[in-house]
Amino acid sequence: MTQTEAIRDGPGLFSTPLSCGGGYLGHGGSGFGYVIRAATTVDGRRTITVSTHSRSADPQTAARQEDSLRDLIDHALCRTT
């Protein structure tokens, strides 16, 4: 199962697995020129909000940006120190 297949959604929140185990609840949005993601570990011990200034019209660039955002969130929430 890929990470994208493992993502589940509910009342406006998405549950996504973390590479270090467990998962996080999050939600995001985008508009002209920006993308934002908010995520909190299920136990509530770590939270991150990421905002970036671009949303490419090119599907490949947009997919790379989404992958980078997921990687950044995963890294921040899995950090041990």
| Locus of tokens 């136990």 | 43
pTM above 0.85, yes or no: no
Rounded Cα distance between 40 and 63, Å, is: 22
Residue 4 pLDDT > 80, yes or no? no
Model confidence at 10, in pLDDT bands (50, 70, 90)? low
- Which residue intervals of 1-81 are DSSP H helices? 3-6, 59-78
Decide which of 38 and 79 is more confident. Answer: 38
